[in-house]
Amino acid sequence: MAVRSALALSLASLTLAAQQVISVGQGLSFLPNTIYAAVGETIKFEFITPGHSVAAGSYDKPCTPASNSSFYSGILDTSMVYTITINDTQPIFFYCAVASHCQAGMVGVINP
């Protein structure tokens, strides 16, 4: 009985980290552009049109790379995926670094 209880407890503690998907490039947008994610979750940026990127920004300078250079996908083509893992619940601002896409509103936030 104790072995069964320990096994059940062990299996209950095994959890798969959740995953969320953000589509990149429907127009000049991220869809959705605002999400909430827990520590350990992965965020998949799925590029559906070519010629876009995803880069970490900051609240006070939304179209400038974050000072900690936390992530940048580079310019990706259609059907490519860029994945990040959430390490804390602080807000993560992101934008498209291609030409004037950010200035046109191609921005988003995780955990606003």
CATH H-level superfamily of 17-110 = Cupredoxins -  blue copper proteins (2.60.40.420)
Single out the residue of 60, 58, 52 nearest to residue 104, CA to CA: 52
Q: In what helix (H) or strand (E) does residue 5 lie, and over which residues does it extend? A: helix 2-13
For 52, which DSSP code? B
Selected residue with higher pLDDT from 67 and 2: 67
How sure is the predictor about 11, in pLDDT bands with cuts at 50, 70 and 90? very low
* Domain spans in the chain, listed from the N-terminal domain onward: 17-110
How sure is the predictor about 48, in pLDDT bands with cuts at 50, 70 and 90? very high
Mean pLDDT over 56-69 rounds to: 87
7 phi and psi, to 5 degrees?
-65, -45
Single out the residue of 83, 55, 80, 82 nearest to residue 70, CA to CA: 55
For 63, which DSSP code? T
18 phi and psi, to 5 degrees?
-70, 160
Count of beta carbons in the 10 Å neighbourhood of residue 35: 18
Entry pTM: 0.83
